[in-house]
Amino acid sequence: MDFFTLSETRQSCRNYDTRPVELEKLARCIQAARLAPSACNSQPWHFTVVTRPDLAKQVAKLVQGAGFNRFAERCPAFIAVTEEAANLSARLGGLVKRQEYAQIDIGLATAHLCFAAAEQGLSTCIMGWFQEKAIKKLLGIPANKRLRLVVAVGYAAPDDPLRPKTRKPIEQIATYLK
């Protein structure tokens, strides 16, 4: 699928089929994320892939709360995205320019991961609402690391429709200086 079609059709899935996700497809998603650009080639990320059914069920519970992410109950796989220490160049540049380059880089890598999933017929949802300490303990992520995102990954249920995207008009988000 060409990139523009992929951009138009990828959406955050809210209704998963419970069938397992092939490890080869998840590995390709991680490979795509690995190739994402990062400030000073710092690559400040780590991905913990969860496919074991008992762990996936526990992660699903830990991303829910206050009415958020109920759909996770049926999701068969999750990828926890942890922030790693950036290299010295990226950290110094970030201090000088008052930018959180590692967080930007994690966003880029996660987008690559989600597009790779969509290209392979998988659906994703990036979640920022979760019980960080509990997930880190469950998955063996060191307490001193920051869990930034959890991505639900699976096959969309057959009755999960492609929803129209509502986005701001181009005129509100872009300025062309000619």
pLDDT tens figures, 54-72: 999 999 999 999 999 999 9
Residue 146 forms beta bridges with which residues?
83
pLDDT tens across 136-164, in order? 999 999 999 999 999 999 999 998 888 88
Q: Given this model, what pLDDT does residue 74 score?
A: 95
Instruction: List, edge to edge, every strand of the sheet that includes 45-50.
Output: 45-50, 77-83, 146-154, 123-127
Are 120 and 21 spatial neighbours (Cβ–Cβ below 8 Å)? no
Structural domain containing residue 126 = 3-173
User: For residue 130, which of 82, 175, 178 has the smallest C-alpha distance?
Assistant: 82
Q: How many domains does the chain have?
A: 1
Q: Given this model, what pLDDT does residue 1 score?
A: 84
| 178, part of any domain | no
| 139, part of any domain | yes
Q: Given this model, what pLDDT does residue 160 score?
A: 83
CATH number of the domain within which 74 lies: 3.40.109.10
Residue 78 forms beta bridges with which residues?
50, 152
In the chain, which residues have pLDDT < 70?
A: none
Q: Using CA atoms, how far apart are residues 158 and 16, in angstroms rounded to an integer?
A: 9
Are 151 and 78 spatial neighbours (Cβ–Cβ below 8 Å)? yes
| 42, part of any domain | yes
- Give the phi and the psi of residue 161 in degrees, each rounded to 5: -80, 155
Q: Given this model, what pLDDT does residue 91 score?
A: 86
Centre a 10 Å sphere on the Cβ of residue 54 and count the other Cβ atoms it contains.
7
Q: Given this model, what pLDDT does residue 133 score?
A: 98
| 116, part of any domain | yes
Q: Given this model, what pLDDT does residue 83 score?
A: 96
User: For residue 160, which of 115, 124, 128, 136 has the smallest C-alpha distance?
Assistant: 124
| Residue type (1 letter), 65 | G
3-state secondary structure 21-49: CCHHHHHHHHHHHHCCCCHHHCCCEEEEE
| 115, part of any domain | yes
Helix (H) or strand (E) holding 50: strand 45-50
